[in-house]
Amino acid sequence: MARSLELNTGLPLRAENAGLFVSRGEGVHPDRVIGSHELIFVREGALGIREEERVFEVEAGQSLLLWPGRRHVGTRPYPSDLSFYWVHFVIEDGRDRVTERVISVPQHATVSRPNHLSEVFRRFLDDQEEGGLRPVSASLLVMLMLCEVSGSEPAKNALENNAAVLAGRADAYIRTHFHAPSLCTSVLADNLGCNPDYLGRVYRKAYKRTPTQAIHWRRVRHARRMLIESDRNVEEIARACGFKDVRYFRRIFRRHEGMAPLAFRRLYAQMHVNTE
């Protein structure tokens, strides 16, 4: 009489659900905190997303592992060509045995065998759709997904490049909007779709000063030109450069130039007069 082989799988994780997201060219990834891990694998396009203070640009062929209990939110609207697989799973014993004991899964990776990973996702979704996905099979498939990602290269260069691109975008925004009275680090971060503290760090790393210092420097630089080339009074120049308070403008100007605005005008105006 034939006997069945009985196995205790002892899997360190429990699969929940999965799906395939296809963009309609509108909307943004929701702002949320969930109680499970989420593995994302981008098929086409690029997904902009932030987990706490870390910003990711997940391109086609790349994966991203999001941790439970951490806030994640999209950094920009979904592009029309975006599609990605996703799966939620829970570490059964509350410890990251998947990443620490058995395999090492990079949080952001360029998948070395994207076709293999896509096939595992399709198998999961097919069985889920047909109602024949058993808990053990689902967990085994998620383990296979993580194994595929574990053999991939971490997207370290992409992360560093993303930070440099963000800092460059911030600097370009400051150059063209320094005169706006409301401009500050939080407004700048809001317009760029990122966290203000994270933006401050990447900007300082790239330009050796804070966004606030850069805004002041641009405003003072513009004020210097107006003091020399125009006959507008100090209050008018302060407003034109983005300062709401003329006293604050004088303080910032003195900090940068070592003298008051009118003293600067008297000292330098004649040096720029050309009579020929």
The pLDDT assigned to 269 comes to: 64
- Strands 37-44 and 13-22, how do they pair? unpaired
In the chain, beta strands by DSSP E: 13-22, 37-44, 46-51, 54-59, 62-66, 72-74, 83-91, 108-110, 153-154
Q: Is position 69 within any domain?
A: yes
Q: Is position 1 within any domain?
A: no
CATH code (residue 220): 1.10.10.60
In a 13 Å sphere around the CA of 103, the CA atoms on its Cβ side amount to: 18
- Which strands sit side by side in the sheet containing 46-51, from one edge to the other? 54-59, 46-51, 72-74
Cα 212 to chain centroid, rounded: 20
Q: Is position 4 within any domain?
A: no
The pLDDT assigned to 163 comes to: 77
Same domain as 116, residue 20: yes
The pLDDT assigned to 7 comes to: 61
The amino acid at residue 172 is A
Same domain as 130, residue 80: yes
Domain count for the chain: 2
Q: Which domain holds residue 259?
A: 158-272
Contacts for 93-101: CB closer than 8 Å, 24+ residues apart: 93/12, 97/12, 98/12, 98/13, 98/37, 98/143, 98/146, 101/12
CA distances from 219 to 45, 155, 224, 242, 252 (A): 38, 38, 9, 7, 9
Same domain as 82, residue 39: yes
- Strands 83-91 and 108-110, how do they pair? unpaired
Q: Is position 132 within any domain?
A: yes
The pLDDT assigned to 39 comes to: 97
Same domain as 116, residue 199: no
The amino acid at residue 203 is Y
Distance between CA atoms of residues 275 and 77, nearest Å: 55
The amino acid at residue 266 is R
Same domain as 58, residue 133: yes
Q: Is position 249 within any domain?
A: yes
Residue at a domain's end among 125, 154, 183: 154
DSSP letter (8 states) at residue 31: -
Distance between CA atoms of residues 113 and 99, nearest Å: 19
Same domain as 221, residue 175: yes
Residue at a domain's end among 154, 184, 211: 154
Same domain as 115, residue 19: yes
Written as six digits, the tokens of 53 are 């203070």
The pLDDT assigned to 100 comes to: 44
DSSP letter (8 states) at residue 107: S
Same domain as 231, residue 150: no
The pLDDT assigned to 132 comes to: 84
The pLDDT assigned to 4 comes to: 66
Which residues in the chain show pLDDT less than 50? 95-100, 272-276
Distance between CA atoms of residues 186 and 113, nearest Å: 40
Are 65 and 105 contacting, i.e. CB atoms less than 8 angstroms apart?
yes
Cα 2 to chain centroid, rounded: 57
Residue at a domain's end among 132, 154, 176: 154
The pLDDT assigned to 274 comes to: 41
CA distances from 13 to 29, 53, 79, 140 (A): 25, 27, 32, 9
CATH code (residue 40): 2.60.120.280
Q: Is position 8 within any domain?
A: no
Same domain as 107, residue 50: yes
* 120-167 pLDDT tens trace: 999 999 999 888 899 999 999 999 999 999 978 776 555 556 777 888
The pLDDT assigned to 43 comes to: 93
Phi/psi at 108 (nearest 5 deg)?
-130, 120
Same domain as 66, residue 78: yes
Q: Which of 227, 235, 195 is nearest to 211 (CA)?
A: 195
Q: Is position 3 within any domain?
A: no
Are 261 and 249 contacting, i.e. CB atoms less than 8 angstroms apart?
yes
Same domain as 26, residue 43: yes
